[in-house]
Structure 1
Amino acid sequence: MLSWLWQFVKLYKTRLAIAIVALICTSALTLSLGQGIRLMIDNGFAAQSYDGLAAALKITLLIIVGLAIGAYFRFYMVSWIGERVVADIRRQLYGRLLKLPPSFFEDNLAGEIQSRVTTDTTLLQTVIGSSFSFALRNTLTFLGGMTLMFVSNVKLSLVVLTVVPFIVFPLIIVGRKVKRLSKDSQDKVAHVGAWAGESLQHIKVVQAFTREDLVKQQFADGAESAFQTALRRIRYRAFLIALVMIMVMGAVTVMLYIGETDVLAGNLSAGDLSAFVFYAIMVAGSLAAVTEVYGEVQRAAGAAERIRELIATEPEIESPQAPEQVDFGRAEPLIAIANLTFSYPSRPNHQALDGLNLTIQRGERVALVGPSGSGKSTLFDLLLRFRQPQVGNIKIHGTDIKQLDLVSLRDLYALVPQQPVLFSANVVENIRFGKPGASQAEVEAAAKAAYAHDFIVDLPQGYQSFLGEQGVKLSGGQRQRLAIARAILADPKILLLDEATSALDAQSEHLVQQALDELMKHRTTLIIAHRLATVAHVDRIAVLEHGKLVDVGTHQSLLQSSPLYKRLADLQFQSHQA
């Protein structure tokens, strides 16, 4: 863990150096208090000298002032480094997450990922900003105290030193178990948090089915499992603390007996024994403190391992080292799909797309229709390079999209999904997501083009109205029009519509369809259509079945040439008439 953290800490070497100097100084000054105690006893009390006592007190006070100043710099610098390093780790971790494809988030719970970004990094901050400093200071105190003990009295020092091996070996063995249990505990806590977030996010479904008791019990079972794992970790740490206490205090007791007999025999002064006892107590206290902090460090090691796993995850799809640029002046189809074949990793023997060939000209409106599972949404994912085909390619004006920078490629598109995505922000920020630098006038123009302006100004704070999580304060049609306004503001060359009106009532569908007509003007558009009535007037309709392109044509021509299309049309129109 330390070697991994060093790559972040080394960026702030100056502050680290100040912190280390302050640590060394405070440890040295703490140990110097022992000499102040020796001077008080030998030069003050034993010598019956007021001057000697006053001089010893002055020295002790100077040491205390120096200790306070050093403690200030130590605490401030170490805490600053802890906060700064964790902020850097969070930024790197979140940046890595943003580069991972959507498939990664389909395989991993959002709550568990969020736990690593927040809870695990907070645990690291606690260790770097306080526990590690505490451990290092006590380690220095232990080493310095042992040195001064040997300088003062070798015989008594050997008595104390005999217990160290009996502490160090259990510390290493138990520490490994604590690290493993800490990681397991954090995994289970993250899983419980993910389950809680998911159930609360879908609270309407939970309450509609009256399954509050069920999800409550499932949460309780998860929390209990996390508690039992944490309890095993706590038992190990408690055993370690008890072992250190009995070994260290036993050694100090034996040392006191031997020292007192030497004082009575005249072989050791009372001041020297007092100073030695002070060093021994400092050594014992620092060793006990390191033992306790070691458990926290092991917990942090578990957290660091979880974070490192996430940062080390390599995205399956990345921009090429030397990306090409699209030449829109070339006499090529805007989109050329050639022999496109794709299978999902979970179903390698099932081809979601099977040898698909399709060309789309600039400004053309093309609808993709077919039964569920025919490959329509998969094609959208491949166009956006969310996934990588096993065979075939997609070209934009003759340039393979694999040779394009991912940002440049995705800037060509605007996606309007079936379920609109809105963020926990106000109206302006949600629309401006399509073009972050847009002015207020541009935002309002996009909203007017999407037939959203009228309902926006009726909101309590107008464009500044907060929409709640996932736009919960708006109706489905209003959310969809905001998503369309965002796409209008983005001004893409290629528009991807995933059946944007399928879940709306007639009035909302009419308004959204008007907004879509405005959005599709002068743009190349691909439409995933489940309701054929919404795409009867597009330029071409591509019919897919089992991942294959079975026919292409207009609505009228496909009624004559495609049995599948005619069957779908008859089912929908007859059902509508009924």
Structure 2
Amino acid sequence: MAQGDATPTAGDGSGDAPAQREIRRPTKLRRRNAEPKARSLKPLRMVAEALSNYPTQMALAAIALLITAAATLAIPAGFKMIIDRGFSAGGDAADIGRWFRYLLMIVVVLAAGTAMRFYYVSWLGERVVADIRRRVHENLLRLAPAFYEENSPKEISSRMTSDTALIEQVVGTTVSVALRNTLMAIGGTAYLFFLAPQLTLGLLLVIPAIIIPITIFGKRLRAISRTSQDRVADVGAMVTEVLSSMKIVQAFNQEGRETTRFADKVEQTFDVAKRRILIRAAMTSIIIMLVFGSITALMWRGAIGVAEGTISGGTIAAFVLTGGLVAGAFGALTEVYGDLLRGAGAASRLSELLEEQPTIAIPSRPETLPTPARGSLSFRNVTFRYPTRPDTAALQDFTLEIEAGETVAIVGPSGAGKSTIFQLAERFYDPQAGTVRLDGVPLTSVDPAAIRSRMALVPQDGVLFSANARDNLRYGNWQASDAEIWEAAKAANAEDFLRALPEGLDTFLGESGTRLSGGQQQRMAIARAILRDAPILLLDEATSALDAQSERLVQDALERLMIGRTTLVIAHRLATVRAADRIIVMEDGRIVEQGSHNTLTKAGGLYAELAALQFTSEAA
């Protein structure tokens, strides 16, 4: 029977020449080795916005920073008092002890302020990272599958871990160090002016000589820091890939090759890190030489002043200590700048994920699907090309009407477009031409969540999560009670092995359900679909990878599940679809035949050829 037998309803407009819609490709994330767009700290605005949600903690952290900076700068002043009013003035032991007690009080305040600063700054770092991870993950769940065809989930995972760790370091350590050392530099410089204005003016002449190398080295450091972080992410992605495919690696004796590949990747990471370290080392060395060299010269001049009697011993002692603190603050700021640049690179990579918009979105005014649900599906003059394969049509002028309660089997060679029908039915993609309708309503006019709530999918591989049996089963209906779960398990022929588990429904099933056999995983997937209780059932080669005994159990469960539902079945094994109300035969994205098993077998077309090959092979 030709495709044209299924004629669209007159007056719906779908029978006319369909308007071509542009193939909307998802955003391709910036290549790891590409030059980052931002050349400043602007990407850290995202972090600043996240911090602004916690004004109380920020205020307390700022107070702690002020206390610790002031207490640190008060220590040189305390030594000045001890020397000038204690030792130099010929004070007695009681007087000297009084000034030392003041110094101890400063130390206690410094310790308490440091603890307070560490707590609130670290709290902010962890809190901001948690918020950013949550926001990025929430946005990732909104994106259509096309995005994950263009972009590796392993790459995205590395951004969610290594890059957010950098953000945590920036907020929890780097920003605190930067602010503290800025306060120290400003406050210390002011105190130096108070102690010895002429010596301090000489010190300030060095500041422009410090800023120049920071500017020169900073641009190069940011670029190499981004590349270094990318290489670290590459290592993480490779580890994930190899460990998740360990059975294949060992089955083909490729441990040696994978070791070599990993070693090469690690060496690439090390080579980039060496360049980054070299730049930072050169920058730090030059700045320290300028800062401490100038301070040494100024100390020399101050020592001469002490010898001449123009400066007191306590003043020069305080000047030396404060000058060291100021120099250390400037030196720390040079290193902090490099860390901030690395954090900016990480923030820019996370911003890409956070700002990505879904290609399949909720309409501004979504239509409501009719209630109660009927379960009819309609494909009218549909043409679809995957965004990653725009030159090849997965479906070409495809028309298929599926009535409520009908069981339709879809067969054909690989690449015929069978799975694409499911992808469009669940609105993971939109066709470039034609319409797909659910109960008479175009899918593009409906909230995708409403569409998917009326469908239950049993995939080819019973995909399970790293959780216990209960959570895997109620993934189809999170509100299901234990009684409903056991009822679904019984209907799916899964009750016996679930009750035999060590902790019943509370048993952890391992990574991706690896503690269960393939047949058991598939029956779990069927029980999950039963709990979904949706009017439309999508079976994607649900028994193709099972042995004969498991297939019989699964097929028995599927037959119970299909009762009273509209069912679409994709199958390579034709023996599983003989009882379908209608069999659709596809080739190159088109329907070439449709009818019952007996009709198609007698027609002598593609289905008859496939059936002859399979049934002859099975008989043999």
- TM range, smaller chain: over 0.9
1:399 maps to which of 421, 427, 441? 441
Partner of 2:354: 311
> 8 Å contact 2:362–2:448 — kept in the other structure?
yes
Cα distance in 2, alignment partners of residues 118 and 37 from structure 1: 47
Pairs within 5 Å for 1:325-364: 325-328=368-371, 334-364=376-406
Contact kept, 8 Å, 1:363 with 1:525, in 2: the verdict is yes
Amino acid at match of 1:163: V
- Could you tell me how far 1:356 is from its partner in structure 2? 0.8
> In the alignment, which residue of structure 1 is the partner of 2:291?
248
Give how far 1:39 is off.
Answer: 1.1
Asked if 1:233 is matched to 2:276, the reply is yes
* Structure-1 separation of matches of 2:429 and 2:489: 32
How far does residue 348 in structure 1 lie from its aligned partner after superposition? 1.7
| Shift of residue 477, structure 1, vs aligned partner | 0.9
Q: Describe the SS at the equivalent of 2:414.
A: coil
What is the one-letter code of the residue matched to 1:565?
Y
Counterpart of 1:46 in structure 2 is 88
- Paired residue for 1:212? 255
Find 1:374's aligned residue among 416, 429, 438: 416
Q: Distance in 1 between matches of 2:571 and 2:215?
A: 62
**Structure 2 residue corresponding to 1:512, chosen from 554, 563, 568:** 554
Partner of 1:32: 74
Amino acid aligned to 1:4: M
8 Å CA contact 1:183, 1:306 repeated in 2: no
Corresponding position of 1:57:
100
CA–CA separation in structure 1 for the residues paired with 2:368 and 2:319: 76
Higher helix share: 1
User: 1:198: Cα distance to partner?
Assistant: 1.5
Distance 2:152 2:265 in 1: 15
Aligned to 2:144: 101
Letter in 2 for 1:240: M
2:245, 2:383 → 1: CA distance? 36
1:78-104 deviation digits (Å, cap 9, x = unpaired):
111111111000100111111122222
- For 1:73, the aligned partner's letter is M
CA contact (8 A) 1:40 1:52 kept: no
Match of 1:529 in 2: 571
Count residues in correspondence.
577
Q: Secondary structure at 2:54's aligned position in 1?
A: helix
- Contact preservation (8 Å) 1:356, 1:547: yes
Measured after TM superposition, the shift of residue 466 of structure 1 is 2.1
Distance 1:343 1:10 in 2: 44
Identity %: 47
Counting only pairs closer than 5 Å after superposition, residues 483-522 of structure 1 correspond to structure 2 as 483-522=525-564
- Structure 1 residue 202 displacement after superposition: 1.5
The equivalent residue for 1:441 is 483
What's 2:10 paired with? Answer: none
The TM-score with structure 1 as length reference comes to: 0.96
TM-superposed CA distance for 1:550, in Å, is 2.1
Unaligned runs of 5+ in 2: 1-42
SS in 1 for 2:538: strand
What is the alpha-carbon distance in structure 1 between the residues aligned to residue 389 and residue 47 of structure 2?
Answer: 39
Q: In structure 2, the residue corresponding to 1:11 is in which secondary structure?
A: coil
Measure the CA separation in 2 of the matches of 1:493 and 1:22: 61
Q: Give the superposition deviation at 1:541.
A: 1.1
| Amino acid paired to 1:553 | G
Answer whether contact 2:417 2:588 (CA < 8 A) is retained.
yes
TM-score by length of 2: 0.90
Counterparts of 2:378 and 2:515 in 1: how far apart (Å)?
A: 41
Q: Distance in 1 between matches of 2:542 and 2:298?
A: 82
For residue 52 of structure 1, report the CA deviation from its aligned partner: 4.2
Letter in 2 for 1:523: R
C-alpha distance in 2, partners of 1:77/1:469? 36
**Mapped partners of 1:536, 1:394: distance in 2:** 27
- Relative CO higher for 1 or 2, CA cutoff 8 Å, sep ≥ 6? 2
Matches within 5 A, 1:252-271: 252-271=295-314
Does the 8 Å CA contact 1:159/1:254 hold for their aligned counterparts? no
Q: 1:432 and 2:474 equivalent?
A: yes
The answer as to whether partners of 2:375 and 2:536 remain within 8 angstroms in 1 is no
- Partners of 2:102 and 2:264 lie apart in 1 by 60
Deviations 1:129-148 (A, max 9, x none): 12210121011101111111
Deviates more, 1:498-507 or 1:455-464: 455-464
Higher mean alpha-carbon deviation, 156-165 vs 10-19, is at: 156-165
**What is the CA RMSD across the aligned residues, in angstroms?**
1.7
Return the offset for 1:571: 1.7
Establish whether residue 282 from structure 1 lines up as the match of residue 309 from structure 2.
Answer: no
1:556 is aligned to 598
Q: Which runs of 5+ in 1 are unaligned?
A: none
